[in-house]
Structure 1
Amino acid sequence: MSYRIHIGPNIRKSPYFAATVAEGVQSFSVYNHMYIPGNFGDPQAEYDRLLNGVAMWDVAAQRQVQLFGPDAGRLAQLLTPRNLDGTRVGQGRYVPLCDHQGYLINDPVLLKLAEDRFWLSIADSDVQLWAAGIAAERGLHVEVSEPDVSPLAIQGPLAVEVTAALFGDWIRDLRYFWFRETELDGIPLVLARSGWSKQGGYELYLMDSARGDALWAKVRAAGQPYGIGPGAPNDVERLESGLISYGADMRRQTHPVTPFEMGFGAMIDLETGHDFIGRDALVRLAAEGPRRQRIGIEVDGAPVTGNEHPLDLFHQGRPVGFISEIAHSRRFGKTLGLGIAEVGLGPDSTGLSLHLPDGDRSVRIVPLPFSA
């Protein structure tokens, strides 16, 4: 079933909004209070470009929360249980954020631009308000703001060629999650080797929203010899790759999950004694051990194209967890899903099922990442 979304002034538009409309965008979603493209009319072609060529995505809705001032590093460490000691200028780190009860509230990439300046490149939740509240209550000397920064992603196996054509061969030596401040014909940018796919690519953090059309046009022109085309973060590829999606796989308000349940245990530093929000709860949760675990499933029967809300997972008729998202993978020839289930369930478990609109379906747990 298809729906329409109203385009009005209450939701912010990306600096690339007009460019995506000119490219023929067919759907939008709302993410971080902004419109984000959903598809451009041919999802299979967009998937194929991501897997075999190169795609460009308007991901300006991946907003930045800037921490700036003498206590910026202290606030960054308070916000995450991951130990940030040794993080260098120009380095990005994947950092879970937890509330005081130990539940995940976001999983951004932290970018260290200077000793007194950090960005949190956030998923869909109001981290700026959270960080500002923590800073005020702790009396920290730090300004928390949303800077004029709007990422544009270049993703796929040929992304390196397009990005090198734009910036030069130095980008080939940039390590994953590392970045550099640069410019493109006077357009100020941070260029990072990152992106929400497993196909490789870069993100161009535009630092002047008035230059959105110009940046889009330059990337499009440089990508023409490589068959570049517009697209959007791809749900099928993310499932195939086992990528985590805050908002889909977990959301504090609807399906709260701890970092241990999501498999983030190695990032939770309880040994060095540094202070962070949720520390007491995470110490207790670590001692208890997780009661649930992240799982992948395969769904029996005819292909299922997707779901609009989390699906309850049953074991012999008893609810044992939820599946956050399912989609059919043509590449693997299976309907795949990701979710959370009780510890103890695994590939040998039988009697697992989902309630779908067309009836119950048997499922089986499989190792992540998925394989053909």
Structure 2
Amino acid sequence: MSALARSNRVRRTWWTSAVDAAGCSAYTVYNRMMLPAAFAGTDVDAAHLKRAVQVWDVACERQVEITGPDADTLMQMLTPRDLSAIKPDQCMYVPICNRSGGMLNDPVAFKPRPDTWWVSLADGELRLWIEGMAEAGGYGVTVFEADVQPLAIQGPKSDELAARVFGDAVRDLRFFRWGRFPFRGTEMIVSRSGYSKQGGFEIYVERQELAAPLWNALFDAGADLDVRAGCPNLVERIEGGMLSYGNDMSDVDTPFEVGLDKYVQRFDCIGGAALEAHVSDRRLMAVEMEGPVPVCDRAWPITEGDTRLGVVTSAAWSQEFGCGVAIGMIDRRWDAGTEVVVHTQDGPKRARLRETFWR
């Protein structure tokens, strides 16, 4: 496998040197920023994530700040999810759609202060879209990329590690809620969220001079918890049915096709008319495959006999479940239990459609 060529065009994070020192063996590029992709290996990393605790450099989750008197109005115009009842300490998963109802991004958004939203991006240039909509609509807002870099704590021992660094009150955070917690004479925003099914927190670091002290504090406090540097894990996320924008969905897919229909709650938004009229004939499903499973770096056609019924969008081998785990975009005429063939670059693989994911 070729190495990633580093340059100023691919931005480092406040923790890149620490991640290198921790033994990162692979990076990918996400929002033009370096995102760790593996340490000891995907399988080893997944097994550790499921039993202990990891610290993830997820600074690539760029924060688009929308601030000004029209921030709430613009934010509601961007998503079909109803934001009117958001609690002051609530994070919200918000599909962002284009005028055709296609998914432009699937960020998490919250309000760190009145008249201000942070939109925590999946991979993509959503900031430019928001800036354009703000300018075209004459909204009284300023839109920019905030100088904020998130660090995540993930794994079953996350509560214990977070409590040792931020105090026991952090244990009381509910899922998709956030609060301000003390650290080194200041406060940090911590939310109970993250890109794994193992549970954990995301810490929004707003000052670079606090980045290294936070990293060191987490590793010092978690030595007896077997804390390690980690990263979003391909195997674990597929087992849990966690979607990756750019892999499992793009701007040709609507929320109804990627399992986000419960967040389509109002139609007075960009793409609302298209969403209201849309009839979905596809859906994302779990696909169980025989092994070995090659690197899924392209869409793999799925067939039953001579009929093509969809594509696999993400796949990996699961040591825990003893099978290939995959996500597929499937024609709704086919049901769970259907025996199919997945056509990989290494040849055809027997597979079966599943109604649910593995965790």
* Same fold? TM cut 0.5: yes
Post-superposition shift, 1:370?
1.8
% identity of equivalent residues:
35
Which residue is equivalent to 1:215?
A: 214
Paired residues of 1:46 and 1:229 also in contact (CA < 8 A)? no
The alignment status of 1:261 with 2:251, answered yes or no, reads: no
Q: Which moved more, 1:209-218 or 1:104-113?
A: 209-218
Paired residues of 1:180 and 1:192 also in contact (CA < 8 A)? yes
Post-superposition shift, 1:23?
1.1
Cα root mean square deviation, aligned: 1.4
Amino acid at match of 1:333: G
The alignment status of 1:357 with 2:353, answered yes or no, reads: no
Which residue is equivalent to 1:290?
A: 280
Q: TM-score, normalised by structure 2?
A: 0.96
The alignment status of 1:370 with 2:358, answered yes or no, reads: yes
Which residue is equivalent to 2:303?
A: 314
Separation of aligned partners in 2, 1:45 and 1:316:
37
Separation of aligned partners in 1, 2:350 and 2:45:
30
Separation of aligned partners in 2, 1:368 and 1:348:
11
Separation of aligned partners in 2, 1:32 and 1:187:
29
Amino acid at match of 1:215: L
Separation of aligned partners in 1, 2:63 and 2:348:
42
Separation of aligned partners in 2, 1:247 and 1:103:
12
Separation of aligned partners in 2, 1:47 and 1:119:
30
Separation of aligned partners in 2, 1:248 and 1:107:
12
Paired residues of 1:88 and 1:112 also in contact (CA < 8 A)? no
Post-superposition shift, 1:305?
4.5
The superposition leaves residues 117-171 of structure 1 with CA deviations (integer Å, 9 ceiling, x where unpaired) of 1111110011111111111111000111111111111000000000000011111
Gaps of 5+ in 1: none
Amino acid at match of 2:95: P
Aligned length: 359
Paired residues of 1:312 and 1:322 also in contact (CA < 8 A)? yes
The alignment status of 1:96 with 2:124, answered yes or no, reads: no
Gaps of 5+ in 2: none
The alignment status of 1:276 with 2:269, answered yes or no, reads: yes
Separation of aligned partners in 2, 1:335 and 1:44:
12
Matches within 5 A, 1:69-218: 69-186=68-185, 188-218=187-217
Separation of aligned partners in 1, 2:320 and 2:168:
32
The superposition leaves residues 262-291 of structure 1 with CA deviations (integer Å, 9 ceiling, x where unpaired) of 121121123xx6x21101111110xxx211
Amino acid at match of 1:128: R
Taking a change above 3 Å as real, the CA distance of residues 305 and 228 of structure 1, as seen in their structure-2 partners, is farther
| Counterpart secondary structure, 1:312 | strand
Q: Which moved more, 1:110-119 or 1:90-99?
A: 110-119
| Counterpart secondary structure, 2:222 | helix
Q: TM-score, normalised by structure 1?
A: 0.93
Amino acid at match of 1:260: F
Amino acid at match of 2:277: R
Post-superposition shift, 1:316?
1.8
Post-superposition shift, 1:20?
0.7
Post-superposition shift, 1:187?
5.4
Which residue is equivalent to 1:24?
A: 23
| Counterpart secondary structure, 2:308 | strand
| Counterpart secondary structure, 1:136 | helix
Q: Which moved more, 1:95-104 or 1:42-51?
A: 42-51
Paired residues of 1:349 and 1:365 also in contact (CA < 8 A)? yes
Separation of aligned partners in 2, 1:260 and 1:222:
43
Separation of aligned partners in 2, 1:128 and 1:183:
30
Paired residues of 2:42 and 2:234 also in contact (CA < 8 A)? no
Separation of aligned partners in 1, 2:241 and 2:342:
20
Separation of aligned partners in 2, 1:146 and 1:311:
35
Separation of aligned partners in 2, 1:160 and 1:97:
31
Separation of aligned partners in 1, 2:133 and 2:209:
32
Separation of aligned partners in 2, 1:244 and 1:30:
17
Taking a change above 3 Å as real, the CA distance of residues 64 and 22 of structure 1, as seen in their structure-2 partners, is same
